[in-house]
């Protein structure tokens, strides 16, 4: 069949691997393209059609008198629904559809009109109207029961077709809103520098769509000499308003794409229609889109009025305002349209009606945008300070000759205003469409009508504009900074100075206890990690299948350590590891998806509590050495915890899930935990209350231990609890003799949710002003290695949450108005002039003997001194022509602002003497021998 479009373009449906898009449906519905079914699809239907008996008689039609009692669509919507239906029928492998049915649909589609008489309400109603429109009888075509069911299931095409029109129309607005708003920013002189400067946050405190809109607007307005005078919410709110619209459009687009290309499922008698849920889902997305469109329209109206206010002539301003208010749709139209969609959705009206009214609201928004664009262009063109010779940046404009230098001088004298890089293109595209600039207010109405046609998705000129704006945004002219994923961070030189100092302290403590370093892969086989973390396993980052191995990013460093010990058949090892781990968590303040852990573990057979004592001792030494302030180490025993649950009447199968609830007590009150235990975990109220009595016990180690060992204590009658109390007594005595118990708190509410803990568990909590929560945690895990190898290798370890420790250290530095030196440079070699060889000679002599030195070449002395002060470099060696003639160098003490002359050949030895003298006794400098 020949396409009905004047352009001759054809959309082929049903082809192998070919997906139907909303833009294709829109083009077909507006007559911009014809459609046909792929010939291979016809052949496939013919080969797979089952032999089914045709119905001998048909049910009565929906209405004997032919009145419209079914589901009828407007002409364009009906054409959209037909192309979707053709696509679905062509893909209906094994659905019992004979080629004659889709062929009939294709014939009807190519008719010049009458599509609004098609009934999409039922399979039979559709067939009757289809045949009537083609001048045939249903009896001549024939129909089977299976085809009735398949057609009934495919009538979602009505909703899908209208949704595709809505999707295609709304997609245009995501760029058009920005383009018109940018033009208004120029016309009104809006001050939007701060509003569009939205950095992306790795902590989850920014909205990606907002930062994207702000970044795009910055690029479009880059180079503008118009903006910067006016600040109103209609301009500063552009990122939030347009981001909301983008989000709603993206959601609708994703759902529509799925429905357009979903296969048909036959509706069976007396069964819930399978497709009804998808129709409702499509309609439900119309309301968020309408709310976003209403907000965008309100913002557009506000910008239009601000643009009118920018007119300097009061009389002109009054006449323009009158024309605008009389002819442009106002906010009431937006509100009423949104209310109509909401009412129809709430009343469970036909889903097609909901989508139709949403499209009507978009048409209202289009009219408002057309008026905003007309006003912005009108005001810009009337501005006498505007440089109208400004050329389009993306076009290869031919030179008109003349003296380039003379032109530049002339432009400089005039001091003309220029539009931004993007708005210059937008203006030229719009002027080209309306054939010239508007010169008076009487043409505003016609200008708005022209732009209404321009903003129609079927307008080819509009797509040229959208393409140009996209190219400008993607060109990244202002070098818009790339973004980092949520939950990740970059660290600058000052932060890295603090981190390196902390890592150095931590490693020194680990090495002091005889630990050796270990490194493991950043990802493990997924089977290695799963089943080790209880309910937290859902936070493991899975990777794509790369050749048959399913891998995941490591969740912690403990499980990889246990895997390493098992894989290498190691029976004893004391190791430390500092590396990044990954959690698929919701980012928040102090909670990241990528962060460092510092682990210290001891694996092997030892005397009771020997490694447990040393690990806890290492923890207290770390926190003391880092000098972060007050902290406490909460301590409990897993066997004691299990015994407590057993005493309270909890069955063993629920121990771990109950522990995960108890572990939240540091963030939630017990009443909330109790509700979770009863309603979600299925415990009796009495059991939950007994647990509450025990978990409130906390205090000094020997005090709580004595309480739990009192005569008649239920813990003494429980075998594992009794053994745990013996272990804890040994541990507490060792900690007391090592003068460490002042930081330990025996806390029965400490549960530690990880499944692999078997003995002592502990957690360090910061008690200073900076609220960061837990800063370290660990415990005994005797069975983890055996889960990999079957060999029993007990182990105990600690993991320091170094990111939270860094937060504390950074806050302390700010509180004391201190900052760590970003470099360890000791000497700045400053050469006055441009003598690089001299600088290279001097600084190399210092590098050769191990002095941390930098060099600087500049003719001004203060430039060198400023650099040394900024980097807090203590010494500076200054050399200029005068010093070279005398054979000396000047040695400056930056902090004391003193200097003295030193013979050129003795400067290295002199520096070494002074630095050794200034170094503290504990500092061990490693210098190379002076050559």
Q: If pLDDT is split at 50, 70 and 90, which confidence band does 737 have?
A: very high
Residue 268 clears pLDDT 70, i.e. is over it: no
Q: Give me the residue label for tokens 């006794």.
A: 921
DSSP single-letter state for residue 20 = P
Q: Are 556 and 458 in contact (CB under 8 A)?
A: no
Taking the C-alpha atoms of residue 576 and residue 908, their distance in angstroms, rounded to an integer, is: 39
Residue 367 clears pLDDT 60, i.e. is over it: yes
CATH of domain 164-268+275-391+416-475: 1.20.200.10
SS3 815: helix
CA angle 117, 121, 126 (to 5 degrees): 55
Q: If pLDDT is split at 50, 70 and 90, which confidence band does 7 have?
A: low
Phi then psi dihedrals of residue 281, to 5 deg: -65, -40
Distance in Å from the first CA to the final CA of the chain: 92
Between residues 452 and 755, which one has the greater pLDDT?
Answer: 452
CA angle 928, 930, 931 (to 5 degrees): 115
Phi then psi dihedrals of residue 453, to 5 deg: -70, -40
Q: Give me the residue label for tokens 């819930």.
A: 272
Q: Give me the residue label for tokens 């979903």.
A: 262
Q: Please give the pLDDT value at position 55.
A: 54
**CA 206, 212, 215, 221 torsion: positive or negative?**
negative
Query: pLDDT averaged over the chain?
Result: 83
For the chain, the farthest-separated pair of C-alpha atoms sits apart, in whole angstroms, at 119
Q: Partners of 602 in the beta sheet?
A: 574, 796
The tokens describing 735, both together, are: 């900690």
Count CB-CB contacts under 10 A for residue 894: 17
Q: Which residue blocks in 546-697 are alpha helix, DSSP H?
A: 558-567, 610-626, 638-648, 655-662, 670-679, 685-695
Q: Are 856 and 880 in contact (CB under 8 A)?
A: no
Q: pLDDT by residue (tens digit) across 504-555?
A: 999 999 999 999 999 999 999 988 998 888 777 888 888 877 767 889 999 9
Count CB-CB contacts under 10 A for residue 274: 15
Helix (H) or strand (E) holding 813: helix 802-815
Q: Please give the pLDDT value at position 360.
A: 95
Q: Partners of 853 in the beta sheet?
A: 827
Q: If pLDDT is split at 50, 70 and 90, which confidence band does 1 have?
A: very low
Residue 627 clears pLDDT 80, i.e. is over it: yes
Q: pLDDT by residue (tens digit) across 35-46?
A: 888 888 777 776
Between residues 5 and 109, which one has the greater pLDDT?
Answer: 109
Q: Which of 700, 725, 802 is nearest to 489 (CA)?
A: 802
The tokens describing 776, both together, are: 């370290």
Cβ neighbours of residue 826 under 8 Å, at least 6 residues apart? Answer: 851, 852, 853, 873, 874, 875, 911, 915
Strand spans (E) along 341-381: none
Query: Which has the minimum average pLDDT: 6-20, 388-402, 643-657?
Result: 388-402
Q: Which of 363, 362, 370 is nearest to 445 (CA)?
A: 370
Residue 60 clears pLDDT 70, i.e. is over it: no
Q: Which of 597, 512, 586, 610 is nearest to 561 (CA)?
A: 597
Count CB-CB contacts under 10 A for residue 212: 19
Q: If pLDDT is split at 50, 70 and 90, which confidence band does 413 have?
A: very low
User: How far out from the chain centre does Cα 292 lie?
Assistant: 20
Q: Which of 213, 198, 222 is nearest to 472 (CA)?
A: 222
Q: Please give the pLDDT value at position 608.
A: 92
The tokens describing 863, both together, are: 């430039």
The region, left, alpha or beta by phi > 0 then psi within -120 to 50, assigned to residue 263 is beta
DSSP single-letter state for residue 521 = -
Count Cβ atoms within 10 A of the Cβ of residue 924 and give its class: 0-12 exposed, 13-18 middle, 19 or more buried.
exposed
Return the HEC string of 280-320.
HHHHHCHHHHHHHHHHHHHHHHHHHHHHHHCCCCHHHHHHH
Specify the pTM: 0.58
Cβ neighbours of residue 69 under 8 Å, at least 6 residues apart? Answer: 62, 63, 121
Q: Please give the pLDDT value at position 815.
A: 65
Q: pLDDT by residue (tens digit) across 662-697?
A: 877 877 888 888 888 888 888 888 888 888 888 888
Residue 790 clears pLDDT 50, i.e. is over it: yes
Q: Are 689 and 674 in contact (CB under 8 A)?
A: yes
Q: Partners of 581 in the beta sheet?
A: 595
Taking the C-alpha atoms of residue 814 and residue 337, their distance in angstroms, rounded to an integer, is: 54
The region, left, alpha or beta by phi > 0 then psi within -120 to 50, assigned to residue 334 is alpha
Half-sphere exposure of 391 (CA within 13 A, CB side): 8
Average pLDDT over residues 12-24: 82
- Looking at 3.30.930.10, 3.40.50.300, 3.40.50.150, 3.40.47.10, the CATH number of the domain 496-629+773-819 comes to 3.30.930.10
User: How far out from the chain centre does Cα 45 lie?
Assistant: 44
Count CB-CB contacts under 10 A for residue 435: 7
Give percent of the chain above pLDDT 70.
86
Residue 314 clears pLDDT 60, i.e. is over it: yes
Angle between helices 75-90 and 157-188 (to 10 degrees): 120
Q: Which of 341, 777, 748 is nearest to 601 (CA)?
A: 777
Q: Are 200 and 484 in contact (CB under 8 A)?
A: yes
Q: If pLDDT is split at 50, 70 and 90, which confidence band does 267 have?
A: low
Residue count of the chain, please give it.
931
Taking the C-alpha atoms of residue 915 and residue 906, their distance in angstroms, rounded to an integer, is: 14
Query: Which has the minimum average pLDDT: 218-227, 245-254, 708-717, 914-923?
Result: 914-923
Helix (H) or strand (E) holding 875: strand 875-879
Q: If pLDDT is split at 50, 70 and 90, which confidence band does 813 have?
A: confident
Domain boundaries, the chain: 10-48+71-145, 164-268+275-391+416-475, 496-629+773-819, 632-767, 827-918
Q: Please give the pLDDT value at position 137.
A: 78
Residue 411 clears pLDDT 50, i.e. is over it: no
Q: Are 423 and 469 in contact (CB under 8 A)?
A: no
Q: If pLDDT is split at 50, 70 and 90, which confidence band does 276 have?
A: low
Residue 398 clears pLDDT 70, i.e. is over it: no
Q: pLDDT by residue (tens digit) across 62-88?
A: 444 444 457 888 999 999 989 988 888
Average pLDDT over residues 382-401: 54
Query: Which has the minimum average pLDDT: 748-762, 810-824, 912-926?
Result: 912-926
Q: Which fold has domain 632-767?
A: BirA Bifunctional Protein; domain 2 (3.30.930)
CATH of domain 827-918: 3.40.50.800
Q: Are 632-767 and 827-918 equal in CATH topology?
A: no
Q: pLDDT by residue (tens digit) across 183-237?
A: 999 999 888 888 888 876 555 556 788 888 998 898 898 888 888 777 778 899 9
Q: Are 560 and 520 in contact (CB under 8 A)?
A: yes
Q: Are 202 and 488 in contact (CB under 8 A)?
A: yes
Q: Please give the pLDDT value at position 124.
A: 82
Q: Please give the pLDDT value at position 120.
A: 86
Taking the C-alpha atoms of residue 877 and residue 27, their distance in angstroms, rounded to an integer, is: 74
Residue 4 clears pLDDT 50, i.e. is over it: no
Helix (H) or strand (E) holding 550: none
Residue 591 clears pLDDT 60, i.e. is over it: yes
DSSP per-residue letters across 185-205? HHHHTB--TTTT-----TTS-
Taking the C-alpha atoms of residue 239 and residue 213, their distance in angstroms, rounded to an integer, is: 5
Which pairing describes strands 875-879 and 827-831: parallel, antiparallel, or unpaired? parallel
Phi then psi dihedrals of residue 229, to 5 deg: -105, -40
Q: Please give the pLDDT value at position 338.
A: 93
Which pairing describes strands 594-603 and 551-553: parallel, antiparallel, or unpaired? unpaired
Average pLDDT over residues 469-492: 76
Taking the C-alpha atoms of residue 638 and residue 711, their distance in angstroms, rounded to an integer, is: 22
Q: Partners of 35 in the beta sheet?
A: 11
Taking the C-alpha atoms of residue 11 and residue 18, their distance in angstroms, rounded to an integer, is: 10
């Amino acid at each position: 069949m020949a396409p009905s479009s004047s352009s001759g373009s054809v959309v082929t449906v049903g082809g192998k691997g070919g997906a139907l898009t909303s833009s294709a449906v829109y083009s077909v519905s507006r007559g911009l393209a014809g459609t046909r079914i792929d010939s291979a699809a016809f052949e496939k239907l013919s080969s797979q059609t089952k032999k089914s008996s045709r119905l001998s008689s048909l049910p009565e039609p929906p209405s004997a008198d032919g009145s419209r009692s079914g589901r009828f669509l407007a002409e364009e919507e009906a054409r959209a629904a037909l192309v979707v239906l053709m696509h679905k029928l062509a893909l209906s492998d094994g659905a019992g559809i004979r080629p004659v049915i889709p062929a009939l649909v294709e014939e009807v589609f190519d008719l010049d009109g009458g599509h609004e008489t098609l009934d999409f309400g039922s399979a039979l109603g559709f067939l009757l109207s289809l045949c009537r429109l083609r001048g045939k009888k249903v009896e001549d075509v024939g129909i089977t029961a299976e085809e009735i069911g398949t057609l009934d299931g495919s009538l979602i095409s009505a909703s899908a077709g209208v949704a595709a029109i809505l999707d295609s129309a709304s997609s245009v607005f995501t760029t058009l809103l920005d383009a018109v708003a940018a033009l208004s920013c120029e016309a009104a002189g809006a001050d939007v520098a701060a509003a569009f400067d939205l950095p992306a946050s790795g902590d989850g405190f920014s909205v990606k769509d907002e930062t994207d809109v702000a970044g795009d607007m910055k690029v479009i307005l880059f180079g503008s000499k118009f903006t910067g005078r006016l600040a109103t919410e209609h301009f500063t709110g552009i990122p939030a308003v347009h981001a909301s619209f983008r989000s709603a459009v993206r959601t609708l687009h994703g759902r529509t794409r799925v429905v357009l290309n979903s296969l048909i499922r036959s509706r069976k008698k007396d069964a819930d229609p399978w497709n009804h849920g998808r129709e409702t889902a499509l309609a439900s997305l119309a309301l968020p889109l309408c709310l976003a469109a209403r907000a965008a329209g309100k913002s557009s109206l506000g910008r239009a009025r601000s643009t009118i206010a920018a007119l300097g002539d009061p009389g002109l301003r009054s006449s323009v305002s009158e024309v605008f208010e009389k002819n442009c749709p106002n906010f009431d139209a937006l509100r009423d349209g949104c209310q109509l969609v909401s009412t129809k959705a709430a009343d469970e009206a036909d889903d097609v009606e909901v989508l139709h009214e949403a499209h009507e609201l978009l048409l209202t928004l289009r009219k408002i945008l057309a008026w905003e664009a007309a006003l912005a262009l009108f005001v810009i063109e009337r501005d006498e300070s505007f440089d109208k010779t400004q050329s389009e940046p993306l076009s290869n404009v031919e030179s008109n000759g003349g003296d380039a230098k003379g032109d530049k001088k002339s432009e400089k004298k005039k001091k003309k205003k220029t539009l931004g890089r993007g708005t210059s293109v937008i203006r030229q595209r719009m002027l080209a469409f309306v054939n010239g600039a508007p010169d008076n207010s009487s043409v505003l109405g016609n200008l708005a009508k022209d732009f209404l046609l321009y903003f129609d998705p079927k307008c080819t000129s509009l797509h040229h504009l959208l393409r140009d704006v996209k190219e400008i945004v993607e060109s990244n002219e202002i070098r818009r900074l790339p973004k980092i994923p949520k939950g990740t961070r970059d660290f600058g030189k000052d932060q890295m100075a603090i981190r390196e100092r902390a890592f150095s302290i931590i490693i020194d403590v680990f090495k002091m206890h005889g630990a050796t370093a270990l490194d493991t892969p950043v990802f493990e086989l997924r089977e290695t990690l799963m089943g080790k973390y209880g309910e937290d396993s859902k936070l493991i980052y899975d990777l794509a299948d790369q050749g048959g191995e399913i891998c995941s990013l490591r969740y912690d460093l403990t499980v990889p350590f246990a895997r390493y010990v098992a894989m290498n058949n190691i029976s004893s090892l004391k190791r430390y590891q500092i590396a990044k781990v990954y959690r698929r968590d919701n980012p928040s303040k102090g909670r990241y998806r990528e962060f460092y852990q510092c682990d210290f573990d001891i694996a092997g057979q030892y005397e009771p509590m020997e490694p447990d004592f040393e690990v806890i001792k290492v923890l207290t030494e770390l926190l003391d050495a880092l000098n972060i302030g007050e902290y406490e180490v909460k301590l409990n025993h897993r066997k004691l915890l299990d015994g407590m649950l057993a005493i309270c009447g909890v069955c063993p199968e629920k121990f771990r899930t109950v522990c995960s609830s108890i572990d939240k007590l540091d963030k939630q009150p017990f009443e909330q935990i109790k509700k979770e235990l009863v309603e979600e975990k299925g415990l009796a109220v009495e059991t939950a209350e007994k647990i509450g009595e025990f978990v409130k016990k906390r205090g000094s180690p020997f005090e709580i231990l004595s309480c739990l060992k009192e005569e008649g204590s239920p813990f003494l009658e429980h075998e594992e609890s009794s053994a745990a109390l013996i272990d804890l007594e040994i541990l507490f005595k060792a900690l007391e003799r090592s003068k460490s118990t002042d930081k330990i708190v025996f806390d029965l509410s400490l549960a530690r949710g990880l499944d692999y803990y078997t003995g002592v568990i502990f957690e360090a909590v910061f008690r200073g002003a900076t609220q960061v929560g837990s800063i370290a945690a660990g415990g005994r895990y005797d069975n983890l290695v055996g889960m990999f190898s079957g060999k029993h290798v007990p182990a105990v370890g600690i993991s320091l949450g170094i990111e939270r420790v860094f937060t504390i250290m950074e806050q302390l530095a700010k509180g004391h108005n201190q900052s760590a030196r970003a470099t360890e440079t000791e000497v700045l070699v400053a050469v006055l002039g441009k003598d690089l060889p001299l600088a290279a000679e001097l600084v190399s002599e210092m590098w050769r003997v191990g002095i941390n030195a930098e060099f600087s070449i500049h003719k001004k002395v203060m430039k060198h001194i400023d650099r040394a002060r900024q980097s807090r470099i203590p010494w500076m060696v200054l050399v200029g022509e005068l010093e070279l003639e005398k054979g000396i160098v000047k040695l400056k003490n930056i902090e004391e602002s003193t200097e003295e002359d030193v013979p050129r050949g003795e400067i290295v030895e002199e520096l070494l003497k002074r630095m050794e003298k200034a170094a503290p006794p504990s500092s061990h400098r490693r210098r190379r021998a002076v050559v």
